Amino acid sequence: MSEPNTGVTPETVRKIARLSRLHVEDERLSPLADELNGILGWIEQLGEVDVEGVAPMTSAVDMEAPLRADAITDGGQREKVLANAPKSDSGFYVVPRSVE
């Protein structure tokens, strides 16, 4: 048996926002917690649906995915691709270091 869900608290929203590097005003924490708790409530309701004998599907319409040949059709355009890059070196994009 699972533990009862205590729900999302404003403090949890603050932590999620910090981990996501988002700034959330203090007055928005409680409304966001309520919204997340509502979403989680709907998800819990989905868990109550009887799906016994229902085959998994990727679409409501029975169809096959169109396939194409796995062939390079527009390669060899390195200069055109790199033309809009702010900086490139030896045929590669140069980006700022994000991890020290």
Question: What is the band of 3 on the pLDDT scale with cuts at 50, 70, 90?
Answer: very low
How does DSSP classify residue 4?
P
Q: Domain limits of the chain?
A: 10-46
Alpha-carbon distance 18 to 10, whole Å? 12
Alpha helices per DSSP H over 20-89:
26-46, 78-82
What's residue 39's pLDDT?
Answer: 96
9-65 pLDDT, tens per residue? 999 999 999 999 999 999 999 999 999 999 999 999 999 999 999 888 877 888 887
What's residue 5's pLDDT?
Answer: 54
Whole-model pTM: value is 0.50
> ∠ at Cα 51 (41, 6), nearest 5°?
20
